[in-house]
Structure 1
Amino acid sequence: MATTPELIDRPRVLVVGGGYVGLYVALKLQKKIANAGGIVTVVDPLPYMTYQPFLPEVAGGNIEARHAVVSHRQHLKQTELIQGRVTGIDHQNRTAVVAPADGGDPFEIPYFDVVVAAGAITRTFPIKGLADEGIGLKTIEEAVALRNKVLERIEVASTMTDAAERAKALTFVVVGGGFAGIECITEMEDLARAAVKNNSRIRQEEVRFVLVEAMGRIMPEVTATQAEWVVGHLRSRGIEVLLNTSLDNAEGTLKLINLPDKTPAQEFEADTLVWTAGVQANPMIRSTDFPLEPRGRVRVLPDLRIAGDEGIIDNAWAAGDIAAVPDLTGSGLPDGTCVPNAQHALRQAKRLAKNLWASRWDKPMSDYKHKNLGAVAGFGEWKGVANINILGRIGLKGGLAWLAHRGYHGLAIPTGERKVRVIFNWLLGMIMGRDTTQLLDLDNPRGAFVAAATPAPKPAAAPAPAAEPAKAPVTADAK
């Protein structure tokens, strides 16, 4: 184990993860803990929190990528920030192991309280070729890459003459019919339409979008009637919706199967495969001594303290997607826990911060209880669906739902500075239109410089002309 780097030597609240929960816990506690003689420390491999509900709009080119993230350094002025990954927690000895983001040697960090807020990662299955050919939609980098790939494939296909290769380039597949998948495919389709309008060599009917969903319906967060309307809406835009269908192979030709009878469904080639089929608790939690439930999440009480069969674990807290938080409203998952979404994570973080501070002074703590306000989804400009639980259930479709989606998330993204940037981003887009500028070589930014700095090879010397054969002397007899 490497020597611990120079850290602030004060009683520490260690926050593992800088996402929704980590950011808000630090925001709410940093000043109070500092005034009490302690320090809040956030450990995360990224220097920012990603507002994931905006990832489809980033992929669709409606939001600037930097506006969908919140800088830790800019907003956590009184927090100790460590860019790295917690790889283990020994709560009995109040220490955690941190692996620096730059690949340096791991080191130990002591703490007084720990807040486990490492969130979730994409859940995948052992499907051949998926790791090589697929891309998720869980990070801002994936959203940017997806936007650029849609634009790049359309541009490249416009000059292709081979019909099969052209069809492959213009086929976009999204696996997963939840909110992320539906918003992703509709934003991509909107972006593709805008790009095709600017390219006379491509016809809209050549572009193919396919949604693959293993269940018999999409978007379980909305009513069955609304889900049926969404399917109809997708198909009206030319998007193929394949229900009760699973991806069986992504190696080369995509192979789909019908789940009810396990028979082959379709086979086709596609250059773009997006995987949005669910999430799972961050596996780092398995490298701790905290109790876990069957789905791999840490067990917590309604007041967000970690607890196992032997009772409450002092000075240990958790919330968000990595925690099995009981839903006291009775409207959560079948196992009685809260749905893993941003709405719950943001509110759990605020309750956790209040309870942790109360515990320092032996004051009463409150349980987390929040009735789901509903769900809103945007399907591109002026299109969407919403199920709002305010003064009764209100179902919205089309433009009104799209406005509700933007209104809710425009207010929900953390910090006033980011709210202003996002809202002005939207207003500018409505006036100037969607930006379909393609950014190239983001994965190889030094390519142009390396090419310029590399001396051109010297041309090969021209071969010497072959010597002409000697001519026989002309004699008098030959004349």
Structure 2
Amino acid sequence: MAVPRILIVGGGYVGMYTALRLQRRLRRGEALVTVADLDSYMTYQPFLPEAAAGNIEARHVVVPLRRVLNRCQILSGRVTQVRLADRKAELSPHEGPDLTIDYDYLVMAPGSISRLLPVPGLAEHGIGFKTIEEAIALRNHVLGRLDIAASTPDPEVRRRALTFVFVGGGYAGVEALAELEDMAADALKYFAGLSREDMRWVLVEATDRILPEVGADMGKWTAQQLRERGIEIRMGTLLKSAEGCHIVLSDGEEFDTDTLVWTAGVKPNPLVAAGDLPLDKKGRIRVDPYMRVHGTDFAFAAGDCAAVPDLTRPGQFCPPNAQHAVRQAKRLADNLLAALRGQAQRPYRHKYAGSVATLGLYKGVAQIYGRELRGFPAWCMHRTYHLTRMPTFNKKTRILMDWTLGLFFPREIIAMGAIEEPRKEFTLSARS
């Protein structure tokens, strides 16, 4: 009898944690688990702002799938199509011919991508904040702008270099802006002729509030704290154009910038539409409370790409965040095992515990089971909570060491933007 094949598409929260639980609970020879993803590592996204600010080494917020999932098959490449009808998936490796993967059980967890709007100039000049590559590129970019501003006598070049625009007032936008502004302000002590007042940080949010996840009152408090640091909060405002990095806002203001960060929402990975998966109006995979894809008993989906019913709030769906994704992975893995063994499955039910956010070193905001925390206690809660959720003892230890060293030594202010074009100097040497 052939060994059942389990295909997990995506190596993020849901994909990695599902594979990890299956790896631990499957009996020897009971099934073969294959994880297919473009990257061979999982990124712990809540730590991206701290990695961008230099509080944590970038390599410490990613988990190598081949090391953690040592009893699973890892395929690196882009999954281009998943079909339920014939239980096949198409994979395009980084090099070599395309592959067709047969499966008996499927877990769809490709996650989400940035939701871009048709704003002129956005695609050409904007940068997202969903990957470790984007976080580190943004850190190098911000520090590089400080170098430029400190090295030019041209006031217009300096003004443009020191203007930083973030669009989107949710977790990603607020945390990224707050951490990077804190880092840049700290770095200015090493840049003669520059002061905090020379920088302009702008947060553009279409709605009338920021950080809706922590509640209205805490959102207002956060906006006040950011304004006291000189950060402009433009609520009820849209980005109309960014052509040539010339920013045009819906309130009529226009200015130039070298830095445009787009964090205004996400949408399901386009892969979910490349096949015969049932989708809802928002492009998410339709699943039942057991996280089974509608109309099947062998396919499951969870995380950002799936419309998982929230049984604690009838008629609504679970929000796309790490808290639900990690817990959904646990239930999904158990339900898949139950399906494999012909046992009863259980629905996913989790009451939202709350939210925590960092606003820079020693500053934070949190709402835990209805209790509000702000300032240093919230910052400690943020670090404690996410450290406990970080996969592997190895990564937990390394992050804790980064934080400990940060108490005694200043943050590095080196801009390594040239790392994005490592052959540039070599090519110039060849031409000389």
* Residue 315 of structure 1 pairs with residue 298 of structure 2: yes
> Does 2:390 align with 1:413?
yes
Matched, 1:196 2:188: yes
Equivalent residue in structure 2 for 1:402, among 367, 370, 379: 379
> Bigger CA drift: 228-237 or 90-99?
90-99
Report what 1:300 is aligned to: 287
- What residue identity is the alignment partner of 2:307? A
Structure 1 residues 146-295: aligned runs within 5 Å: 146-252=138-244, 253-258=246-251, 264=252, 266-295=253-282
Alignment counterpart, residue 344 of structure 1, candidates 306, 313, 324 = 324
TM-score, structure 1 normalization: 0.88
- Tell me the distance in 2 between the aligned counterparts of 1:405 and 1:379: 10
Pick from 68, 75, 85 the counterpart of residue 82 of structure 1: 75
Pick aligned residue for 2:350 from 358, 370, 374: 370
Alignment partner for residue 311 of structure 2, among 328, 341, 344? Answer: 328
State the alpha-carbon separation in 1 of the partners of residues 275 and 28 from structure 2: 30
**In structure 2, how many angstroms separate the alpha carbons of the residues matched to 1:382 and 1:37?**
49
Cα deviation, residue 193, structure 1: 0.6
Per-residue CA deviation, residues 311-369 of structure 1 (Å, 9 max, x unaligned), is: x31210001001100011118xxx60001000000000011001110111211111111
Q: Show CA shifts across 1:2-40 (max 9, x none).
A: xxxxxxx84210000000011011111125446134210
Alignment of 1:383-398 (within 5 A): 383-389=363-369, 393-398=370-375
RCO comparison, higher one (Cα < 8 Å, 6+): 2
> Secondary structure at the residue paired with 2:411?
coil
Where 2:123 maps in the other structure, the secondary structure is helix
Kindly, what percent of the aligned residue pairs are identical? 48
- Contact kept, 8 Å, 1:194 with 1:436, in 2: the verdict is no
Aligned residue for 1:5? none
Which range moved further: 173-182 or 442-451?
Answer: 442-451
Q: Which has the larger radius of gyration?
A: 1
> Residues 297 and 339 of structure 2 are in contact (CA less than 8 Å); yes or no, is this contact kept in structure 1?
no
Where 1:273 maps in the other structure, the secondary structure is: strand
Q: Report the residue type matching 1:427 in the other structure.
A: T
2:118 pairs with one of 126, 129, 136 = 126
Matched, 1:68 2:55: no
Question: Which residue of 2 is the match for residue 25 of structure 1?
Answer: 18
Q: Which of 415, 419, 422 is the matching residue for 1:445? A: 422
Distance in 1, Cα, partners of 2:24 & 2:235 = 50
Match 2:409 to one of 419, 429, 432: 432
Measure the CA separation in 1 of the matches of 2:206 and 2:306.
26
More helix by share: 2
Displacement after TM superposition at 1:97 (Å):
0.7
Task: Give the Cα–Cα distance (whole angstroms) in 1 for the partners of residues 70 and 29 of structure 2.
Answer: 16
SS at match of 1:14: strand
User: Which amino acid in 1 is paired with 2:417?
Assistant: L
Residues of 1 paired with 2:212 and 2:182: CA distance?
23
Rounded to whole Å, the distance in 1 between the matches of 2:22 and 2:392 is 15
The CA RMSD over aligned residues, in Å, is 1.4
Count of aligned positions: 430
